[in-house]
Amino acid sequence: MTEHRYRLPTVDRASRRADRDAGADRAGDRAGRRVAHGGTPDAIRLPRVPQRPVDRTAVLHRSDIPLGERSAAREAQREERNGQHGFSRLLRELAIVVVVALVLSLGIKTFVAQSFWIPSGSMENALVPGDRVVVSKFTPGPISLKRGDVVVFHDPGHWLDIPHKKRSGINGALVSGLQFVGLYPSGDNDLIKRVIGLPGDHVKCCNTRGQIVVNGVGLSEPYIYPGGGTDQKKFSVTVPSGRVWVMGDNRGDSADSRFHDDGSGRTGSVPESDIIGRAVMIVWPVDRMSWLSNYSSTFDKVPQP
């Protein structure tokens, strides 16, 4: 008996590959037709993503960004940083300058010199109201007091019947602060007079010529206010140790040592410890700017006590 074998028809692999490719092409044509009519193939439809501002820092580290754009972003970031640092540095330097200036001014005022304003006419014509003077802190101290020196001193004992009214509010606080550091002239409750007698000197008024006499020598005083005279009050005192006898140049308008003494020489004289310094120069107004003389020739013939 003969056995019959049946062979299944074979399909060429190449034919199957061709059929598959043809199917893919037909699907692609259908998708293309949908896109052409305003549609979007389901396989490539994507949601809209809102656009974000560019982060320069991120740009600097992204390798897919062109080198030129990264350089521009880096330069912009550097300029922004330099601008911020420049402004803060300016403020810091300005603060340092102000602090140094205040410290220097305070040091000068404390140890070297201080400015004062003249509130009254008791020292005319050498000084007139409104003058600004510079006072040296070296006298008394390294430089000894001399007869004829013009000195500024604290009120030694209620010489000012009506103390200057203190400023109030913001203006008062500002002025007080500036006076403390030496940037505003003081003088509200201080006095300025000329030294006539040193410790141990015998001072009296007056001789037969109407002159002040110191240690037996009559003084010819060219600084006295014209026509004012000097004999408004008689006195004869010996200046105690550590104190000085002071008088204003405008003798008729000066409540000085003469009018505060009880005859002992102590209550009318000024303690050297109350003396702030010696007035050496008028600095304001400009047309009155000049050195203040102590008229040494007036006192050069006065002997030591």
In tens, the pLDDT along 263-274 reads 999 999 999 999
The confidence score (pLDDT) of residue 4 equals 47
Choice among 115, 122, 136, 186 that is catalytic: 122
The one-character DSSP state at 97 is H
Strands, E, within the chain: which ranges? 113-117, 132-136, 150-154, 190-197, 202-205, 212-214, 217-218, 235-238, 243-247, 270-271, 275-284, 290-291
User: 137-183, pLDDT tens digit by residue?
Assistant: 999 989 999 999 999 999 988 888 765 556 657 766 776 666 666 55
The confidence score (pLDDT) of residue 1 equals 47
The one-character DSSP state at 75 is H
Cβ(269)–Cβ(275) under 8 Å? no
Choice among 136, 186, 193, 269 that is catalytic: 193
**234 belongs to the catalytic site:** no
Low-confidence ranges of the chain (pLDDT < 70): 1-85, 105-106, 109, 162-168, 171-172, 175-188
- What are the phi and psi torsion angles at 252 (to 5°)? -80, -5
The confidence score (pLDDT) of residue 170 equals 76
**122 belongs to the catalytic site:** yes
The confidence score (pLDDT) of residue 8 equals 45
The confidence score (pLDDT) of residue 39 equals 47
